[in-house]
Chain A
Amino acid sequence: MNAALDSFESALLTRLREQVEQPPAVRPRPSRRRLLLGSATVAAAVAMVVIVPGLGTAPAYSVQEGNSGTITVEVRRLEDAEGLEALLAKSGVRADITYVPDGQQCAPRRYTPVDRRLSGMGISMGTNLLRVTLPPGTVRDGERFVMAVSGVAVPPSTSEPSEEGVIDGGGFSGWADFSVTAGPVQPCRIEPSTVD
Protein backbone atom coordinates (compact mmCIF):
# COMPACT_ATOMS: atom_id res chain seq x y z
CA MET A 1 0.00 0.00 0.00
CA ASN A 2 2.76 2.42 0.82
CA ALA A 3 5.42 1.17 -1.56
CA ALA A 4 7.93 3.82 -2.57
CA LEU A 5 6.77 5.90 -5.51
CA ASP A 6 9.02 6.43 -8.50
CA SER A 7 9.67 9.87 -9.99
CA PHE A 8 6.63 9.79 -12.24
CA GLU A 9 4.31 8.51 -9.54
CA SER A 10 5.54 11.15 -7.08
CA ALA A 11 5.17 13.97 -9.62
CA LEU A 12 1.70 12.80 -10.53
CA LEU A 13 0.72 12.70 -6.86
CA THR A 14 1.92 16.29 -6.48
CA ARG A 15 -0.20 17.42 -9.43
CA LEU A 16 -3.24 15.57 -8.15
CA ARG A 17 -2.85 17.09 -4.69
CA GLU A 18 -2.73 20.51 -6.37
CA GLN A 19 -6.04 19.75 -8.07
CA VAL A 20 -7.65 19.09 -4.70
CA GLU A 21 -5.94 21.97 -2.92
CA GLN A 22 -6.76 24.45 -5.69
CA PRO A 23 -10.09 23.55 -7.25
CA PRO A 24 -10.53 25.50 -10.51
CA ALA A 25 -13.76 27.13 -9.39
CA VAL A 26 -11.94 28.74 -6.47
CA ARG A 27 -8.70 29.66 -8.17
CA PRO A 28 -9.19 30.24 -11.87
CA ARG A 29 -6.53 29.44 -14.42
CA PRO A 30 -4.20 27.24 -12.35
CA SER A 31 -3.18 25.31 -15.45
CA ARG A 32 -1.93 28.35 -17.22
CA ARG A 33 -0.02 29.62 -14.25
CA ARG A 34 1.66 26.28 -13.75
CA LEU A 35 2.54 25.85 -17.42
CA LEU A 36 3.92 29.34 -17.72
CA LEU A 37 6.04 28.76 -14.66
CA GLY A 38 7.38 25.61 -16.28
CA SER A 39 8.19 27.49 -19.44
CA ALA A 40 10.11 30.12 -17.57
CA THR A 41 12.20 27.43 -15.89
CA VAL A 42 12.96 25.86 -19.23
CA ALA A 43 13.67 29.19 -20.86
CA ALA A 44 16.54 29.86 -18.51
CA ALA A 45 18.27 26.68 -19.60
CA VAL A 46 17.70 26.59 -23.32
CA ALA A 47 19.50 28.10 -26.23
CA MET A 48 16.66 29.80 -28.01
CA VAL A 49 13.35 31.32 -27.05
CA VAL A 50 11.35 33.19 -29.65
CA ILE A 51 8.26 35.08 -28.65
CA VAL A 52 6.05 36.99 -31.03
CA PRO A 53 4.03 39.78 -29.49
CA GLY A 54 0.29 39.54 -30.08
CA LEU A 55 -2.35 42.14 -29.64
CA GLY A 56 -2.91 41.36 -25.98
CA THR A 57 -0.61 41.47 -23.02
CA ALA A 58 0.67 37.92 -23.52
CA PRO A 59 2.11 36.78 -26.86
CA ALA A 60 -0.33 34.84 -29.04
CA TYR A 61 2.19 32.04 -29.43
CA SER A 62 5.77 31.09 -28.79
CA VAL A 63 8.23 28.48 -30.02
CA GLN A 64 10.94 27.12 -27.75
CA GLU A 65 13.72 24.74 -28.64
CA GLY A 66 15.13 22.78 -25.70
CA ASN A 67 18.64 21.48 -25.21
CA SER A 68 17.57 18.02 -26.33
CA GLY A 69 16.18 19.44 -29.58
CA THR A 70 12.56 19.09 -28.52
CA ILE A 71 10.44 21.94 -29.86
CA THR A 72 7.60 23.21 -27.72
CA VAL A 73 4.92 25.42 -29.21
CA GLU A 74 2.58 27.31 -26.94
CA VAL A 75 -0.53 28.98 -28.36
CA ARG A 76 -2.55 31.33 -26.19
CA ARG A 77 -4.84 32.79 -28.84
CA LEU A 78 -5.85 31.25 -32.14
CA GLU A 79 -4.56 34.04 -34.35
CA ASP A 80 -1.83 34.58 -36.94
CA ALA A 81 -1.37 30.98 -38.07
CA GLU A 82 1.01 32.13 -40.81
CA GLY A 83 3.19 33.87 -38.26
CA LEU A 84 3.47 30.67 -36.26
CA GLU A 85 4.36 28.76 -39.42
CA ALA A 86 7.13 31.27 -40.13
CA LEU A 87 8.41 30.99 -36.57
CA LEU A 88 8.47 27.21 -36.76
CA ALA A 89 10.34 27.43 -40.07
CA LYS A 90 13.11 29.31 -38.23
CA SER A 91 13.41 26.27 -35.98
CA GLY A 92 13.64 24.04 -39.05
CA VAL A 93 10.07 22.74 -38.97
CA ARG A 94 7.84 23.18 -42.02
CA ALA A 95 4.29 23.49 -40.80
CA ASP A 96 0.73 23.89 -42.03
CA ILE A 97 -1.28 25.53 -39.26
CA THR A 98 -5.01 26.19 -39.52
CA TYR A 99 -7.20 27.85 -36.92
CA VAL A 100 -10.85 26.95 -37.37
CA PRO A 101 -13.43 29.42 -36.06
CA ASP A 102 -16.28 28.88 -33.62
CA GLY A 103 -15.36 25.41 -32.38
CA GLN A 104 -15.89 23.86 -35.81
CA GLN A 105 -13.47 21.42 -37.39
CA CYS A 106 -11.94 20.40 -40.72
CA ALA A 107 -13.36 17.54 -42.75
CA PRO A 108 -11.14 14.44 -42.40
CA ARG A 109 -8.56 13.17 -44.87
CA ARG A 110 -7.03 16.51 -45.79
CA TYR A 111 -3.66 14.80 -46.01
CA THR A 112 -2.00 11.41 -45.70
CA PRO A 113 -0.07 10.99 -42.44
CA VAL A 114 3.39 9.46 -42.58
CA ASP A 115 3.45 5.72 -42.03
CA ARG A 116 5.46 5.59 -38.82
CA ARG A 117 4.82 6.00 -35.15
CA LEU A 118 5.32 9.62 -34.10
CA SER A 119 6.69 8.78 -30.70
CA GLY A 120 6.50 11.52 -28.12
CA MET A 121 4.64 14.00 -30.29
CA GLY A 122 1.83 15.40 -28.23
CA ILE A 123 -0.66 18.15 -27.80
CA SER A 124 -2.32 19.29 -24.62
CA MET A 125 -4.93 21.87 -23.81
CA GLY A 126 -5.14 23.81 -20.61
CA THR A 127 -6.82 26.99 -19.62
CA ASN A 128 -6.03 29.57 -22.30
CA LEU A 129 -3.15 27.49 -23.52
CA LEU A 130 -2.49 24.93 -26.19
CA ARG A 131 0.88 23.25 -26.05
CA VAL A 132 2.45 21.09 -28.75
CA THR A 133 5.56 19.00 -28.17
CA LEU A 134 7.69 17.90 -31.11
CA PRO A 135 10.64 15.67 -30.15
CA PRO A 136 13.71 15.85 -32.41
CA GLY A 137 13.26 13.99 -35.67
CA THR A 138 9.46 14.22 -35.62
CA VAL A 139 9.34 16.22 -38.84
CA ARG A 140 11.96 15.01 -41.32
CA ASP A 141 13.28 16.63 -44.49
CA GLY A 142 10.52 17.10 -47.04
CA GLU A 143 7.79 16.62 -44.46
CA ARG A 144 5.38 19.02 -42.82
CA PHE A 145 3.79 19.22 -39.41
CA VAL A 146 0.06 19.66 -39.95
CA MET A 147 -2.20 21.02 -37.26
CA ALA A 148 -5.76 22.30 -37.32
CA VAL A 149 -7.25 23.61 -34.10
CA SER A 150 -10.49 25.10 -32.94
CA GLY A 151 -11.49 25.98 -29.45
CA VAL A 152 -13.86 27.91 -27.32
CA ALA A 153 -13.61 29.09 -23.74
CA VAL A 154 -15.72 27.06 -21.35
CA PRO A 155 -16.80 28.55 -18.03
CA PRO A 156 -16.26 26.34 -14.99
CA SER A 157 -19.15 23.98 -14.46
CA THR A 158 -20.46 22.57 -11.24
CA SER A 159 -22.51 19.96 -13.05
CA GLU A 160 -21.88 16.24 -12.80
CA PRO A 161 -19.13 14.58 -14.84
CA SER A 162 -20.14 13.29 -18.23
CA GLU A 163 -20.86 9.63 -18.78
CA GLU A 164 -17.24 9.14 -19.81
CA GLY A 165 -16.00 10.62 -16.57
CA VAL A 166 -14.69 13.71 -18.29
CA ILE A 167 -14.07 16.52 -15.85
CA ASP A 168 -15.33 19.90 -16.84
CA GLY A 169 -13.62 22.38 -14.57
CA GLY A 170 -13.86 25.12 -17.13
CA GLY A 171 -11.13 26.23 -19.45
CA PHE A 172 -10.54 25.48 -23.07
CA SER A 173 -12.70 23.01 -24.93
CA GLY A 174 -11.50 22.26 -28.37
CA TRP A 175 -10.78 20.02 -31.27
CA ALA A 176 -7.37 19.38 -32.74
CA ASP A 177 -6.13 17.33 -35.62
CA PHE A 178 -2.39 17.01 -35.92
CA SER A 179 0.13 14.76 -37.62
CA VAL A 180 3.07 14.78 -40.01
CA THR A 181 2.77 14.33 -43.75
CA ALA A 182 5.16 14.00 -46.68
CA GLY A 183 2.46 14.80 -49.23
CA PRO A 184 0.14 17.66 -50.11
CA VAL A 185 -2.28 19.20 -47.60
CA GLN A 186 -5.73 20.16 -48.85
CA PRO A 187 -7.36 23.35 -47.54
CA CYS A 188 -9.56 22.90 -44.51
CA ARG A 189 -13.16 22.22 -45.46
CA ILE A 190 -15.04 23.39 -42.37
CA GLU A 191 -17.74 21.21 -40.90
CA PRO A 192 -19.68 21.30 -37.60
CA SER A 193 -17.98 20.03 -34.47
CA THR A 194 -18.40 16.38 -33.52
CA VAL A 195 -16.84 16.91 -30.10
CA ASP A 196 -19.39 16.70 -27.32
Chain B
Amino acid sequence: MDTIEGVAAIGRDPDALEAFYREHLEAVQRFVARRVQTPEDAADLTAEVFLAAIHASRDYRGDAAAPRAWLYGVARRVVASHHRSTGRALRAAHRIDARELLDEDATDRIVARLDSQRAAREVYTSLAALPERQRSVVELVAVDGMSLVDAAAALGISAGNARVLYHRARRRLAHSLSGILPDPAEVAP
Protein backbone atom coordinates (compact mmCIF):
# COMPACT_ATOMS: atom_id res chain seq x y z
CA MET B 1 0.00 0.00 0.00
CA ASP B 2 2.94 2.36 0.10
CA THR B 3 3.07 2.60 -3.66
CA ILE B 4 1.82 5.58 -5.59
CA GLU B 5 -0.65 3.32 -7.33
CA GLY B 6 -2.15 2.18 -4.03
CA VAL B 7 -2.91 5.65 -2.73
CA ALA B 8 -4.07 6.97 -6.08
CA ALA B 9 -6.59 4.10 -6.29
CA ILE B 10 -8.40 4.73 -3.00
CA GLY B 11 -10.84 7.10 -4.70
CA ARG B 12 -12.06 4.46 -7.14
CA ASP B 13 -11.22 1.02 -5.76
CA PRO B 14 -13.00 0.02 -2.53
CA ASP B 15 -10.43 -2.71 -1.82
CA ALA B 16 -7.55 -0.28 -2.17
CA LEU B 17 -9.43 2.08 0.11
CA GLU B 18 -9.94 -0.67 2.70
CA ALA B 19 -6.24 -1.57 2.71
CA PHE B 20 -5.33 2.11 3.09
CA TYR B 21 -7.91 2.57 5.86
CA ARG B 22 -6.70 -0.45 7.82
CA GLU B 23 -3.10 0.67 7.52
CA HIS B 24 -3.62 4.24 8.65
CA LEU B 25 -6.75 4.16 10.82
CA GLU B 26 -5.02 4.03 14.20
CA ALA B 27 -2.61 6.80 13.20
CA VAL B 28 -5.50 9.00 12.04
CA GLN B 29 -7.47 8.36 15.22
CA ARG B 30 -4.48 9.30 17.36
CA PHE B 31 -3.84 12.36 15.19
CA VAL B 32 -7.42 13.50 15.77
CA ALA B 33 -7.28 12.68 19.50
CA ARG B 34 -4.40 15.10 19.88
CA ARG B 35 -6.68 17.88 18.69
CA VAL B 36 -10.26 17.47 19.93
CA GLN B 37 -11.92 16.85 23.27
CA THR B 38 -14.99 14.70 22.70
CA PRO B 39 -15.50 11.20 21.27
CA GLU B 40 -18.23 12.55 18.99
CA ASP B 41 -15.88 15.10 17.42
CA ALA B 42 -13.15 12.47 17.18
CA ALA B 43 -15.50 10.10 15.33
CA ASP B 44 -16.71 12.81 12.94
CA LEU B 45 -13.22 14.02 12.15
CA THR B 46 -11.87 10.52 11.57
CA ALA B 47 -14.55 10.10 8.92
CA GLU B 48 -13.86 13.56 7.48
CA VAL B 49 -10.14 12.88 7.18
CA PHE B 50 -10.69 9.69 5.18
CA LEU B 51 -13.34 11.37 3.02
CA ALA B 52 -10.94 14.22 2.29
CA ALA B 53 -8.18 11.70 1.50
CA ILE B 54 -10.47 9.85 -0.92
CA HIS B 55 -11.20 13.09 -2.69
CA ALA B 56 -7.60 14.31 -2.73
CA SER B 57 -6.14 10.95 -3.77
CA ARG B 58 -6.43 11.59 -7.48
CA ASP B 59 -3.79 14.28 -7.09
CA TYR B 60 -1.41 12.08 -5.13
CA ARG B 61 1.84 11.66 -7.02
CA GLY B 62 4.05 10.21 -4.30
CA ASP B 63 7.01 12.31 -5.34
CA ALA B 64 6.70 14.78 -2.47
CA ALA B 65 5.42 12.88 0.52
CA ALA B 66 5.13 9.31 1.73
CA PRO B 67 1.50 8.18 2.21
CA ARG B 68 1.51 8.78 5.97
CA ALA B 69 2.97 12.29 5.67
CA TRP B 70 0.56 13.10 2.85
CA LEU B 71 -2.35 11.88 4.94
CA TYR B 72 -1.23 13.97 7.92
CA GLY B 73 -1.19 17.01 5.66
CA VAL B 74 -4.78 16.26 4.63
CA ALA B 75 -5.79 15.59 8.25
CA ARG B 76 -4.29 18.83 9.49
CA ARG B 77 -6.34 20.87 7.02
CA VAL B 78 -9.53 19.02 7.93
CA VAL B 79 -9.06 19.54 11.68
CA ALA B 80 -8.05 23.19 11.26
CA SER B 81 -11.21 23.73 9.23
CA HIS B 82 -13.24 22.08 11.99
CA HIS B 83 -11.84 24.41 14.63
CA ARG B 84 -12.45 27.47 12.51
CA SER B 85 -16.09 26.55 12.07
CA THR B 86 -16.47 26.11 15.88
CA GLY B 87 -19.26 23.67 15.34
CA ARG B 88 -21.87 26.30 14.70
CA ALA B 89 -21.56 26.92 11.01
CA LEU B 90 -21.73 23.89 8.83
CA ARG B 91 -20.84 23.24 5.28
CA ALA B 92 -21.61 19.68 4.50
CA ALA B 93 -22.13 17.65 1.40
CA HIS B 94 -22.38 13.88 1.53
CA ARG B 95 -20.95 13.82 5.01
CA ILE B 96 -20.94 10.61 6.95
CA ASP B 97 -22.70 11.05 10.26
CA ALA B 98 -19.95 9.19 12.07
CA ARG B 99 -21.02 9.91 15.64
CA GLU B 100 -24.20 7.99 14.96
CA LEU B 101 -22.08 4.89 14.34
CA LEU B 102 -20.69 4.94 17.88
CA ASP B 103 -21.79 2.41 20.47
CA GLU B 104 -20.76 2.29 24.11
CA ASP B 105 -17.68 0.10 23.64
CA ALA B 106 -16.36 2.08 20.69
CA THR B 107 -16.93 5.33 22.61
CA ASP B 108 -14.99 3.92 25.57
CA ARG B 109 -12.06 3.10 23.31
CA ILE B 110 -12.06 6.62 21.85
CA VAL B 111 -12.23 8.15 25.33
CA ALA B 112 -9.22 6.05 26.36
CA ARG B 113 -7.38 7.29 23.27
CA LEU B 114 -8.31 10.90 24.11
CA ASP B 115 -6.96 10.39 27.64
CA SER B 116 -3.69 8.95 26.36
CA GLN B 117 -3.14 11.97 24.11
CA ARG B 118 -3.88 14.60 26.74
CA ALA B 119 -0.32 15.97 26.98
CA ALA B 120 0.01 16.36 23.21
CA ARG B 121 -3.41 18.01 23.11
CA GLU B 122 -2.25 20.61 25.63
CA VAL B 123 0.70 21.45 23.41
CA TYR B 124 -1.65 21.68 20.42
CA THR B 125 -3.94 24.08 22.29
CA SER B 126 -1.00 26.22 23.37
CA LEU B 127 -0.05 26.86 19.74
CA ALA B 128 -3.23 28.79 18.95
CA ALA B 129 -1.49 32.17 19.00
CA LEU B 130 1.06 31.29 16.31
CA PRO B 131 0.67 32.55 12.74
CA GLU B 132 -0.82 29.83 10.54
CA ARG B 133 2.31 28.90 8.60
CA GLN B 134 4.47 28.60 11.70
CA ARG B 135 1.74 26.76 13.48
CA SER B 136 1.36 24.18 10.74
CA VAL B 137 5.02 23.16 11.01
CA VAL B 138 5.16 23.20 14.80
CA GLU B 139 2.00 21.13 15.02
CA LEU B 140 3.33 18.29 12.94
CA VAL B 141 6.73 18.31 14.68
CA ALA B 142 5.89 19.02 18.31
CA VAL B 143 2.39 17.50 18.53
CA ASP B 144 2.71 14.61 16.07
CA GLY B 145 6.41 13.84 16.41
CA MET B 146 7.20 14.12 12.71
CA SER B 147 10.66 15.05 11.50
CA LEU B 148 11.07 18.48 9.94
CA VAL B 149 11.66 16.80 6.58
CA ASP B 150 8.43 14.80 6.76
CA ALA B 151 6.48 17.80 8.06
CA ALA B 152 7.75 19.87 5.14
CA ALA B 153 6.65 17.14 2.71
CA ALA B 154 3.24 16.94 4.34
CA LEU B 155 2.78 20.68 3.96
CA GLY B 156 4.23 20.91 0.47
CA ILE B 157 7.07 23.26 1.46
CA SER B 158 10.83 22.86 1.41
CA ALA B 159 12.67 21.44 4.42
CA GLY B 160 14.66 24.65 4.70
CA ASN B 161 11.49 26.70 4.80
CA ALA B 162 10.04 24.41 7.47
CA ARG B 163 13.18 24.78 9.56
CA VAL B 164 12.99 28.58 9.41
CA LEU B 165 9.32 28.59 10.36
CA TYR B 166 9.95 26.20 13.24
CA HIS B 167 12.72 28.33 14.71
CA ARG B 168 10.67 31.49 14.35
CA ALA B 169 7.88 29.81 16.25
CA ARG B 170 10.30 28.71 18.95
CA ARG B 171 11.52 32.23 19.43
CA ARG B 172 7.97 33.52 19.54
CA LEU B 173 6.97 30.98 22.15
CA ALA B 174 10.20 31.19 24.15
CA HIS B 175 8.63 33.03 27.04
CA SER B 176 5.39 31.13 27.30
CA LEU B 177 6.41 27.61 26.34
CA SER B 178 10.09 27.23 27.14
CA GLY B 179 11.05 23.61 27.18
CA ILE B 180 7.92 22.34 25.49
CA LEU B 181 9.02 22.53 21.88
CA PRO B 182 11.69 19.93 21.23
CA ASP B 183 14.88 20.78 19.42
CA PRO B 184 14.24 19.68 15.85
CA ALA B 185 17.51 17.76 15.92
CA GLU B 186 15.82 15.41 18.40
CA VAL B 187 13.07 14.58 15.99
CA ALA B 188 14.98 14.60 12.73
CA PRO B 189 15.36 11.17 11.13
Contacts and interface: CB of A to CB of B under 8 A. Distances in A.
B58 to A, nearest CB: 9
B22 A124 contact: no
Interface stretch (A19-27, A43-51, A183-191): A19-27
B93 A16 contact: no
A3 B101 contact: no
Given A16-B47, A165-B74, A122 B14 contact: no
Contact of B101 (A1, A15, A122, A133): A15
21 contacts: A6-B109, A8-B106, A12-B98, A16-B47, A16-B96, A19-B54, A20-B13, A123-B90, A124-B97, A126-B95, A127-B93, A165-B77, A166-B52, A166-B81, A167-B54, A170-B94, A171-B93, A173-B92, A174-B90, A174-B91, A178-B88
Contacts of A170: 93-94
A123 B99 CA distance: 11
Given A6-B106, A16-B47, A17-B14, A11 B101 contact: yes
Contact of A167 (B43, B55, B99): B55
Nearest to B9: A20
Contacts of B99: 120, 122
Given A1-B23, A131-B97, A170-B93, A17 B18 contact: yes
Nearest to B24: A1
Contacts of A1: 22-23
B93 A167 contact: yes
Interface of A: 1-3, 5-9, 11-13, 15-17, 19-21, 24, 30-31, 105, 119-120, 122-127, 131, 133, 154, 160-161, 163-178, 194-196
B172 interface: no
A44 B88 CA distance: 32
Contacts of B164: none
A196 B92 CA distance: 11
Contacts, number: 148
B91 A24 contact: no
Interface in B31-47: 38, 40, 43, 46-47
Contacts of A161: 52, 55-56
Contacts of B23: 1
Main secondary structure of the interface of B (DSSP, over half): helix
B180 interface: no
A16 B51 contact: yes
A119 to B, nearest CB: 8
A91 B116 CA distance: 40
Contacts of B106: 6-9
A154 B47 contact: no
B108 to A, nearest CB: 10
B7 interface: no
A168 B78 CA distance: 14
Contact of B95 (A7, A120, A124, A176): A124
A16 B50 contact: yes
A19 B55 CA distance: 10
B111 to A, nearest CB: 12
A122 B46 CA distance: 17
B95 A125 contact: yes
Contacts of A30: 94
| Most chain B Cβ neighbours within 10 Å, of A2, A8, A13, A124 | A8
| Most chain A Cβ neighbours within 10 Å, of B54, B59, B96 | B96
B94 A24 contact: yes
